[in-house]
A and B are shown apart, each in its own frame.
Chain A
Amino acid sequence: MTTEFLRVTNLHAFYGESHILHGVDFSVNRGEVVTLLGRNGAGRTTTLKALLGLVGSRSGSVMINGREAIGLPPHRIARLGVGYCPEERGIYASLSTEENLSLPPLVGSGGIAAEELYAMFPNLAERRATQGTRLSGGEQQMLAVARILRTGARLLLLDEISEGLAPVIVQALARTVRTLRERGYTIVMVEQNFRFAAPLADRFYVMERGRIVDGFPAAALPAKMGMLHEFLGV
């Protein structure tokens, strides 16, 4: 049985005077991994931010787990069970690794305990007391993912988690995403790295100029390669 965890309808988003999203429509089922593809500036990162209310203003409808979130402030949206890993990772410099990990409040039950997270990401365990921004890029990315797994969030918004990282770390992150999928997490990824995203996602959406222009399941990927090639240069 598939049930919708996220349904976005006619989502518009603005930063001041600039109109970034022009009516975005898509949905994600419970336990599904969905990737938003598109060129830089197509509006993928803004879509994730708009889901959380982190844009100047927004309109339309965002249903999360059956609740309308368009009128809620960001902290109330997070408490619907949403975990966000921003593109810039957002590791806090004035907090240690451990403080960064335990910073986000619990937003649901069944989060992964800190000790299990340290087992999943052993590098972090060794560097608990280290200032967050002294970690390597890969460690910071692991921390940014780990800290939203502790909270019990069921919908994870992952923005460019493979960006700028060494291949061995990208592989580790791919394994993590697979594990999370097996555990039933619902995941929306924004990815520039098509090779990273392609084997992980159940479905894809393609964005262009602030709209969703195409959507297809992973099985249709081979047939879509020509179009993607044209759109993304992949």
Chain B
Amino acid sequence: MTEIFGFPVVVVLGQLVLGLVNGSFYAILSLGLAVIFGLMRVVNFAHGAFYALGAVTALLGLKLLGVNYWAALVLAPLVVGLLGILVERLLLRRLAGLDPLYGLLLTFGIALAIEGTLQQLFGSSGESYPVPEALRGALNLGFMILPRYRAWVIVASLAVCFGTWFVIERTRLGATLRAATENAPLLQAFGVNVPLLVALTYGGGVALAALAGVLAAPVILVNGTMGSSIVIVVFAVVVIGGMGSILGAIVSGLLLGLAEGLTKVVYPEASNIVVFVIMALVLVLRPAGLFGRE
């Protein structure tokens, strides 16, 4: 049996693939946070709650209306995104121009309200979402047996991340978004409806969180607080990537998933904190983050 530094290759590769699955969730979630922070300078503490809301919406859609997984993949982000637009229009907008701390406090409050409501309605034990028919079973990769669904998560996340990156960096809409991030008043003086753009961006960022929630639903227990632990890691990912950097969010999301996987092989006890150790190191050595501009 071949080994790397005394660890069997199959174990290393297996953990790397599982790490990539986690990294896929980190990437989509931190991508949404980065888009929101870039334009609005709001640290969206409600991101984890919207992630949970995406999963719960998918579950409710299935149980009450018979909406299948594939439809939920589109509909749940849409519903949650609209809710996000409502939150921006009714609440967040009022804090524009104030100390960013207020936005942080408000979104933290929104997170507590959403998570508390979900817990009140559905209890805290959680429910599982069935894996869709087409993605049941497993793939034999030679070095590991990978459930088809987890392979799908990786592929879907990479597609979503690339799609979002492409829209922002390569399209006219993206150019407008980048301009708004840089100098919004001038953009508005050119005739762009910047308040609408801000609302849509928040809705879009939140919809990405909901999409991650739907993707996660079949592999975890769906409950109101499922986002509260992952969102802490995701904040660390955003800081490591560089606040507001799109590419940074994607790349560091995936890399940190891999780093966690690798740590599970080498020293499993540290796998929960490795992300934070890396964050501390990045903050010391490169305070603006790996992809940040300062």
B-contacting residues of A (Cβ < 8 Å)?
52-54, 73-75, 77-79, 83-84, 86, 90, 92-95, 99, 102-105, 107, 148, 151
Contact = CB atoms under 8 A, between A and B. Distances in A.
B191 A103 contact: no
Interface of B: 172, 175-176, 178-179, 181-183, 185-195
Given A75-B193, A75-B194, A95 B188 contact: no
Given A54-B185, A86-B186, A102-B172, A75 B179 contact: no
B166 to A, nearest CB: 15
A107 B188 contact: no
Contacts of A54: 185, 189
A13 B33 CA distance: 37
Contact of B190 (A53, A93, A103): A103
Given A78-B191, A105-B192, A99 B185 contact: no
Given A54-B185, A90-B183, A78 B178 contact: no
Nearest to B186: A90
B182 to A, nearest CB: 5
Contacts of A90: 183, 186
Nearest to B190: A104
List 10 tightest A-B contacts by C-beta distance, closest first. A78-B191, A104-B190, A74-B188, A99-B175, A94-B178, A90-B186, A52-B189, A74-B189, A105-B191, A92-B179
Nearest to B183: A90
A73 B186 CA distance: 12
Looking at chain B's contact residues, is the secondary structure mostly helix, strand, loop, or mixed?
helix
Given A75-B194, A103-B176, A103-B179, 15 more contacts: A54-B185, A73-B188, A75-B189, A75-B190, A79-B191, A84-B186, A86-B189, A92-B183, A93-B182, A94-B178, A94-B179, A99-B175, A102-B175, A103-B190, A104-B191
Nearest to B178: A94
Nearest to A83: B190
Nearest to B171: A99
A131 to B, nearest CB: 11
Contacts of A99: 172, 175
A227 B284 CA distance: 61
A94 B184 CA distance: 13
Contacts of B183: 90, 92
A104 B193 CA distance: 11
Most chain A CB neighbours (cut-off 10 Å) among B179, B181, B185: B179
A95 B180 CA distance: 11
B182 A75 contact: no
B202 to A, nearest CB: 18
Contacts of B172: 99, 102
A224 B168 CA distance: 53
